[in-house]
Amino acid sequence: MTFPMTEEQALIRQTVHEFAENEIAPRAAEIDAMDAFPHDIFQKMAALGLLGIPFSEQYGGAGSDYNSLIIVLEEIARVSGSVALILDAHSSLCCEPIALFGSEAQKQKYLIPLARGEKIGAFGLTEPQAGSDAGATRTRALRDGDEWVLNGEKIFITNGTVADVLVVTAKTDPQKGTRGISAFILEKGTPGFRVGHEEKKMGLKGTATTELFFEDCRIPAANLLGQENQGFKQFLVTLDAGRVAIAAMALGLARGAYERALAYSQERVQFDQPIADFQAIQWMLAEMATDIDAARLMIARAADLRSRGQRFIKEAAMAKLFATEVSERVCYKAIQIHGGYGYLQDYAVERMYRDQRLCAIGEGTNEIQHLVIARQILGR
Ligand SMILES: Cc1cc2nc3c(=O)[nH]c(=O)nc-3n(C[C@H](O)[C@H](O)[C@H](O)COP(=O)(O)OP(=O)(O)OC[C@H]3O[C@@H](n4cnc5c(N)ncnc54)[C@H](O)[C@@H]3O)c2cc1C
């Protein structure tokens, strides 16, 4: 089974490849070192139409398909995991639920500026007591006339500090468990909404990972996303697609590390010959290339099913599980091929190894992916 790219997808890959090489790659090490959100690159991505790839032109998007977003994420992650995660959180986690479940008025007000990149988006689901067990959400939303009043907190929210628009979840009917959760659209600057401190992370620096606090935060009733008490279902749907996106990010990081190791192995001379002449190095390169190829096929299959509106829950979880493990293996080997130099911050493989680690944790840990796959296989 192969997944040939359409002419449009091939053009998008080529354009984004060049953009990533010319505009992002030269800044990637600096973003990592400075740990500051790269506003300049976000604006350049907006100008190129990358912030609303899969959304229709009517709503400010590029009118491309979901496969194209996956291609873009891979190409960007190949040079910078941080910029890929910023795009993922903005597009796949914030814009996507508004596009899927938002009213026409919400799409006009929020999706259009988000897809155009005039505003930055974030998605707030995780809480101190609700990580993998997202149904254990404690943030509460109470209806008061024409408003909802939110109280609670979120943690680990990508783009949290810089976001203008956030999609957040809260319990609207605590007695109903996961059937009593709703999603809301929240604007930066709403009274009672406060962003906490920015986390210091192992990698993916430059992505602003923050706490969010809601203290009697009043938002208009019109900002309920979709139907009341449908939030749990909505974020499960959002995260199914999000898994393919984070798998593409893991694949891009693996590709970036592999390409650097391949080049280095032909330049580095030991025992009077390039280290690529040694069978040990050749085997590592062969395994890396094979792993990357397999991951790409799995991701393309999941994205293709989703683009055609078919069921893809199992395939998305499998692609995420496999691609993130591939990324770990490939980045490990890329450092090994670089020897001691690979351990230094002067070489991009060191950053890529740190960046890829999140992919097995975010948007459902890999243990949760095992559960999802097993449930699909067993029909439970
Ligand atoms: C850099 C970064 C960015 C993030 N961005 C966002 C964001 O933008 N929005 C957002 O909402 N969240 C975000 N997250 C949160 C992320 O989705 C969670 O960290 C993740 O879902 C895991 O939750 P947890 O950290 O509470 O771990 P826990 O759920 O406490 O898991 C701890 C361990 O227990 C395992 N475990 C838990 N339950 C089970 C089970 N039933 N069976 C087997 N094993 C289990 C897990 O797999 C893991 O190994 C981000 C996290 C990080 C680190």
pLDDT higher than 80, residue 121: yes
| Residue ranges matching CATH 1.10.540.10 in the chain | 7-120
Atom nearest to 126 CA in ligand 1: 11
CATH architecture entry for 7-120: Orthogonal Bundle (1.10)
Q: Is 135 in the pocket of ligand 1 (CB under 6 A)?
A: no
Q: How far is the CA of 338 from the centre of ligand 1 (A)?
A: 32
Q: How far is the CA of 362 from the centre of ligand 1 (A)?
A: 6
| pLDDT at position 4 | 80
Check the CA dihedral 359-323-367-311 and report its sign.
positive
pLDDT higher than 60, residue 2: no
| Residue ranges matching CATH 2.40.110.10 in the chain | 122-229
Q: Is 362 in the pocket of ligand 1 (CB under 6 A)?
A: yes
Confidence of residue 380 (pLDDT cuts 50, 70, 90): confident
Atom nearest to 89 CA in ligand 1: 8
Confidence of residue 1 (pLDDT cuts 50, 70, 90): very low
| Residue ranges matching CATH 1.20.140.10 in the chain | 232-378
pLDDT tens column, 21-52:
999 999 999 999 999 999 999 999 999 999 99
Contacts with 13 (C-beta within 8 Å, 6 or more apart), sequence order? 5, 71, 75
pTM of the complete model beyond 0.95 = yes
Q: Is 97 in the pocket of ligand 1 (CB under 6 A)?
A: no
pLDDT tens column, 53-65:
999 999 999 999 9
SS3 letters across 80-147 = CHHHHHHHHHHHHHHHHHHHHHCCHHHHHHHHHHHHHCCCCEEEECCECCECCCHHHCCCEEEEECCE
Mean pLDDT, residues 118-128 taken together: 98
Confidence of residue 94 (pLDDT cuts 50, 70, 90): very high
As a whole number, the mean pLDDT across the chain is: 97
Q: Is 82 in the pocket of ligand 1 (CB under 6 A)?
A: no
CATH no. of 232-378: 1.20.140.10
Fold of the domain spanning 122-229: Butyryl-CoA Dehydrogenase, subunit A; domain 2 (2.40.110)
Mean pLDDT, residues 373-378 taken together: 97
pLDDT higher than 70, residue 281: yes
Whole-angstrom CA distances from 46 to 32, 75, 110, 206, 242 are: 21, 16, 15, 18, 20
Q: Is 160 in the pocket of ligand 1 (CB under 6 A)?
A: no
What is the residue with the minimal CA distance to atom 27 of ligand 1? 131
% of residues, the chain, pLDDT over 90: 98
User: Angle, to 10 degrees, between the axis of helix 313-338 and the axis of helix 348-356?
Assistant: 150
Q: Is 356 in the pocket of ligand 1 (CB under 6 A)?
A: no
Q: Is 89 in the pocket of ligand 1 (CB under 6 A)?
A: yes
pLDDT tens column, 133-171:
999 999 999 999 999 999 999 999 999 999 999 999 999
Q: How far is the CA of 357 from the centre of ligand 1 (A)?
A: 13
pLDDT higher than 80, residue 222: yes
CA–CA distance, 47 with 37 (Å, rounded to integer): 17
What is the residue with the minimal CA distance to atom 52 of ligand 1? 156
pLDDT tens column, 190-209:
999 999 999 999 999 999 99
Best residue among 137, 156, 199, 354 to mutate for probing ligand 1, ranked by most atoms within 8 Å of CB: 156
Q: How far is the CA of 25 from the centre of ligand 1 (A)?
A: 29
